[in-house]
Structure 1
Amino acid sequence: MEKINNLLNQVAIINKKNAEILDATGGRFNMFRVCGVNHYENTHSAILAELLNPKGTHGLKSKLLECFIDTLGDYFTIEKFDFDKSRIHTEHSTEEGRIDILIEDNQNKAIIIENKIYANDQPEQLKRYNRYAQTYKNGYQILYLTLLGDNASEQSGGGVSYLSISYKENIINWLEKCVAIASRFPTVRETIIQYINHLKQLTNQDMDIKNKEEITEVLSKIENLRAAQAIYQNYSATYNYLIEKHFNPKMEEFAKQKGLEYHYERSEEQYVRFHLTNSNWQGKCWIGFTFEGNRCHYGLCNNPNVYRISEENRKTLHENLNKLDIFSRKESNWWPFYAHYTNLSLDTWENDIIKSDNFLNECKEKIEKLLIAMEGINF
């Protein structure tokens, strides 16, 4: 235990020093974060498309697009793509669905970028885009962009030739080269730097290089490696401990007040997973807070293999949600209604779970609105 405490103290000192550097240099200030540009794929797509656009307001013509392709190296398979005369489309509508970013040149060649920061794959999504892409007779390539470089699900991309790329590596590496290209365009340069910093925060890479090296040096000692291994083995369990202490008793009390039963499942750094039941629902449905496809979402759930809420009840549910100004509605066979909400972070755990009840109150508000929307539904 002494070795673990010693290691934690050493790393804490380096972390504190990194935080002081960020504070002293204004490194925490970021308009992308202030404006909530976190998990909305459409917003990130708009930013990337503007930078990639040869006719974009950045004034750098096709230089940023060429740099993007250069960073892909031999993985880019389209020959002699005409950068200068390419056109960029976002949310491009086709009979096979909406394409996040479509880049096409004047030689019937195309680059299709499917942008998936956290969202789940839609049914046969890449397969459908691949069918559409075959209209580009002189060559096309599908890029599957996620935060960390995940592959598409089998149902979405099985049998499709596509390239997985990530914000963590590919996009940040490209943008860092763009900073040099935009050196004489100060507004563009500083905006790109802020976006890079924002992406580093989203991918947990916002520590100064010198401080990272210092932590690596500390960990390289064998006694510290053993201590780090012990910490790693208990890391996930820590979140369960925190939620049992700071969240569960209060949520259980709230559930009782609402005539619900609270069922806690598990926690990780990015989420708290739990569900609530009611005897009146006869085991047919429940309110769930879960984490799937690298994304937190909540809503009303049923098991379609056992019971499925009728279309009439679904319609009533959505009409009631509309009256409550809940417009970001989605649904599936399992989820008659679900909506995304922001993934948790260490900052959330510290400020909104440990030091305050902000996260608890947010969950309570979502539950209360769902209960109102469910009034008049017979199970």
Structure 2
Amino acid sequence: METHHQSLVEWLPGFFQQWSENALALNAPTTTEKIDIDIGQLMTFFSRLSTPLQAVQHRVLSFDPWAIAGLKRKEVRNSAVLAWLLNPQGSHGFGAVPLYALLASIRTAENQAFPAAFTRFCRVRVESNPNGDSKNRVDIEIDADNFFVLIEVKIDAFEQQEQIERYCLEAEKRATKKRPWGVVFLTPQGRQPKSMSADNPHFISCLSWRDLATRFEEPMWADYRKVGTLHESASMRQMAAHSAFCFLERMRNF
């Protein structure tokens, strides 16, 4: 027998339409027809309803831990949470899923040589000083065996003089063994940096917080649905995932 899978949004209008028709039929004084309830269909309805309700409870009715932590628009704190999300060993439980979504945004038509994944190791650091110079403090450094990435995070602060220019030179220098490297400029608008000369030959990935959150969301939800119910510590997995999804919502509002 062929089974048709409909979303809750598609399925509910028909259900309530049938419900109202049956209710009218029950209340009609002239009817004596007995209405049988299909128990199988009713059970199917409630089984389909459970997943959307869990999603609503998970995303809307629960608290936002980052609001309590006071992240607001503070760049240093938000950089630390973003680094946590990008760390394949992070306690969020998504492994390398968010990192690979970022790499996919760097691996564009202009930068096809950039790898889609690390092969052996990947270290993510915040507040990195690659050359020991405090003027070159980088918000996030991703150092993998087969690529090197620096991320400059902006929310409200202005760029320093020649800031992105310096980061390009530093990333190129640090990408030993001829690893592909990249500099990501993350801003609310996804704008081009002003601190880079027009003749700079290096490729810069300019992303908005909203765009990055969108790139993260689909693969993270797919991973959560696949692993969430099977995880050996399901409740801990749900709390960690909730924190991650709350941060994505904050990213959309920068």
- For this structure pair, what is the TM-score category when the shorter chain's length is used for normalisation? 0.5 to 0.7
Q: Name the counterpart of 2:167.
A: 129
**Structural mapping, 1:35-54, within 5 Å:** 35-54=69-88
Once the two structures are overlaid, the 10-residue window that deviates more, 84-93 or 25-34, is 25-34
Higher strand share: 1
Q: Are 1:191 and 2:247 counterparts?
A: no
Q: CA deviation at 1:50?
A: 1.0
Q: CA deviation at 1:68?
A: 2.9
Distance 1:72 1:179, change over 3 A: farther
The C-alpha deviation readout for 1:158-217, integer Å capped at 9, x for no partner, is 4242110011122333134313323313122211221222233x24xxxxxxxxxxxxxx
Q: Name the counterpart of 1:150.
A: 191
Q: Name the counterpart of 2:144.
A: 105
The C-alpha deviation readout for 1:22-62, integer Å capped at 9, x for no partner, is 9xx95594232343212211111111111111221224332
Q: CA deviation at 1:71?
A: 4.8
Q: Name the counterpart of 2:224.
A: 182
Q: Name the counterpart of 1:141.
A: 182
Cα RMSD between the aligned structures?
A: 2.6
Look up the SS of the partner of 2:108 in the other structure.
helix
Q: Are 1:119 and 2:157 counterparts?
A: yes
Distance 1:176 1:191, change over 3 A: farther
Q: Name the counterpart of 1:320.
A: none
The one of the two structures with greater contact order (alpha-carbon pairs below 8 A, sep at least 6) is 2
Aligned residues: 177
Q: CA deviation at 1:80?
A: 5.8
Counterparts of 1:41 and 1:72 in 2: how far apart (Å)?
22
Give the TM-score taking structure 2 as reference length. Answer: 0.61
For structure 2, the residue ranges without an aligned partner over 5 or more in a row are 1-55, 229-236
Distance 1:132 1:100, change over 3 A: same
Tell me if the contact between 1:121 and 1:156 (Cα under 8 Å) persists in the aligned partners: no
Counterparts of 1:54 and 1:156 in 2: how far apart (Å)?
31
Identity value in percent: 22
Counterparts of 2:249 and 2:179 in 1: how far apart (Å)?
37
